[in-house]
Structure 1
């Protein structure tokens, strides 16, 4: 089911295609969960198709068969590679970009577009980004580079400025709710609120049972505030593979606490922190979400954060 919030971006790209005015570099960016990667696949598949109609692939030609099998000679997808010891890298490195640039310099085997995607483009290290810049400044004929980034601000401005930017933004609540209901998502309204209005995340979290985590997080914070909970035990539970979601729900809960204080309503978490302290804790929780993606020990990060809450 195509997401309705893709329609405007799709129409604009297809109009440029009809005028033969497609950019040599696109940047698909916006929050995770809005279908950027599904959009990428649909667009590239249609661009390479030998019998496409209004940008949509026919699904039956040789090009479509090769693309669906992941063996199309005119499309390459670049992501995290492996180190020499076989461990997956956490960044995209310069050697990968150099190989990609060499690939784009070759002629198309089907006589059409030569396309490459980099996902996540915001994971390129500085050397890789610098190497990519030359390819962006001197694109070969009939080549297209498509960058996908959840956090485009991590990329150098020199890279971003050389791409046609396509921003995927949160749709209106009514449209998002209608899409979730059509997809058969139970408790659609509640899970959409939990996901901050992001329908893609809401759908994924619904399948994972995230509403139960949201309620559990609120109970944990209330217990810690009352002096009943154990920060170490709670931290271990939060590290069970859904840590980022739990921290997201914790920030939501504390934001609700701040709103209750501001409107003189009952305090749902009964925290002893004042308004400034609650805001500082939210900032720390967001920094912890970021830090968990790196090499730091998650248990120590959470223990410190939960200890500050108590």
Structure 2
């Protein structure tokens, strides 16, 4: 896969700062899922540590590159969800993980160059972990860089965000997105891009995973419920068992299409009996439900309530 064209400006600015020996001690890479933040991170880390980098890109053959590629470079630390004592993966990054990271970064680089630590997803830090990270951000060690990745940076405290050089990955133009998707071999590039809300990376992922068929299934489900043919309980269980948050994205998207058709005094694709105000309320409820599925509430009840309102 070629380097996405929407990375070019961010890359050029970082490399210009590197040439001036003015790289920040902390970066925040943020933007919607699918725009390649993690690929950008790996490319940047490899180039920063490479012994023979060209224009910021790693050679791929020096000792540093081989260690980074093997995941054994002593000056690279990656922090993500850890395991609880019972072996179950945590759903957040906790304070003990940040304390261990800070202790690690307080030691000297083994290769005598940069030490780089990444936290992904940084928006999964709980309050205590974020507070513990502040000290490291406020008193950075020499030649140490923290790189935070976040799909939803607004979940992070402002005190964390303000201490990082922020790189926002924005949606590219439709023309650039379609060209990139076509070069990636996505057959229905326009349809995939529309389903992903203009996000080309997400469009490619969904096209590869067959999610566009799921999008059609969601629309059929909603149309069946609107016609009184579907079973909300059975539908909720089925949605919950297979990518429920993605299905809710598609459901909200379908209702938005229904609202646009109504506004143009046309028949909507879902044939819902709800008026336009109720459609707007359901759209908001679908997005709230998608958010609530992250929490401790029972997903089957959340979906049943939502689908019951649609019916």
What TM-score bracket applies, with the shorter chain setting the length? over 0.9
- Aligned mates of 1:40, 1:181 — CA distance in 2: 24
Structure 2 match to 1:254: 255
Match of 1:141 in 2: 142
Query: 2: CA distance between counterparts of 1:92 and 1:268?
Result: 42
Post-superposition shift, 1:267?
Answer: 2.3
Please give the secondary structure, in 2, of the residue aligned with 1:29. Answer: strand
- TM-score, normalising length from structure 1? 0.98
Tell me, in whole angstroms, the C-alpha distance in 2 between the residues paired with 1:13 and 1:213.
39
Q: Which residue does 1:303 correspond to in 2?
A: 304
1:192 Cα offset (Å) = 0.6
User: Partner of 1:216 in structure 2?
Assistant: 217
**CA drift at 1:291:** 1.4
Corresponding residue number in structure 2 for 1:184 = 185
1:48: how far off?
0.6
**Rounded Cα–Cα distance in structure 2 between residues aligned with 1:18 and 1:150:** 29
CA distance in 1, matches of 2:191, 2:100: 46
User: 2:167 aligns to what?
Assistant: 166
The residue aligned with 1:79 is 80
Cα distance between partner residues in 2 of 1:184 and 1:248: 24
Which residue is equivalent to 2:59? 58
Residue 11 of structure 1: how far off its partner (Å) = 0.3
In the alignment, structure 1 residue 233 sits paired with structure 2 residue 234: yes
Partners of 2:207 and 2:118 in 1: CA distance: 29
Q: 1 CA distance for matches of 2:271 and 2:230?
A: 13
TM-score between both structures, scaled by the size of structure 2: 0.98
Please name the residue that 1:97 is paired with. 98
Aligned to 2:156: 155
Measured in 1, the distance between the counterparts of 2:115 and 2:213 equals 46
CA distance in 1, matches of 2:277, 2:195: 24
What is the aligned length? 310
Aligned-pair CA distance for 1:32: 0.6
- 1:227-270 deviation per Cα after TM superposition (whole angstroms, max 9, x unaligned): 11111121122123221121111101100111111111112212
| Residue aligning to 2:206 | 205
Distance 2:189 2:243 in 1: 20
CA RMSD of aligned residues (A): 0.8
How far apart are the structure 2 equivalents of 1:215 and 1:83?
Answer: 38
Give the gaps of 5 or more residues in structure 1. Answer: none
